[in-house]
Structure 1
């Protein structure tokens, strides 16, 4: 019995090293904004373009596919794809502080699928209602709701 356990040690040790290597391969880049670090992400890829915008992609903890873009000034957009894909609703307040409390119409969003911040500071939020209607909210750079569509 002891001999069998010893002979299996290299296999078990190899598996542990492989798991550690996979974890290291998905470690968050040092420049990943705190907003993205706050979401349980499994990064699968990263690309930096010539203008210092970084694109990252991978999966959320539940397997949902995501893609995000950021620059040194912060996250420009984050989007999820899939039939039941959703981002944490708390992200809206990270882009527009106090929005959920200030604008009750945002409670119609049950599946948040995309948040974009323009170069001018405007924020657009997209998602779906529980009954499958598309929802889109737009905020100016001061955080005021300037448009709301619930189709």
Structure 2
């Protein structure tokens, strides 16, 4: 008898297909300060309304300081999306939320949730599980599925 785990992987993490400027960061867990500095550099040379994306790690995903309000100050004219490398946490700025059809009063989607500030209503910009941060995902019914201009297909 031989047990060999891992031959049948039950899910995968496909790229989003979003047309964007990608920020390349060193390591799998960049600091919040590093992401902010990199975003400032990229924001200044990126055409207005162009998406900006980066990959984040657990430090940012778990940081209460990492919110859309900070991203809004750095890149108010660019939708921003920071996705975790493990594929289950995303952080948007306010314009990014709006572009993806995620309203301020958005209810938590099936199988995911939106982080909110202490008042329980205002979104921090973080969503957990793909149906919360990828509005085109089949479980998120309120996203811009028909708005293909943001996607590379």
Give your verdict on TM over 0.5.
no
Larger relative contact order, structure 1 or 2 (CA cutoff 8 Å, min sep 6): 2
Larger radius of gyration: 1
Q: Between Structure 1 and Structure 2, which shows a larger proportion of helix residues?
A: 1
What TM-score do you get using the length of structure 1 for normalisation? Answer: 0.30
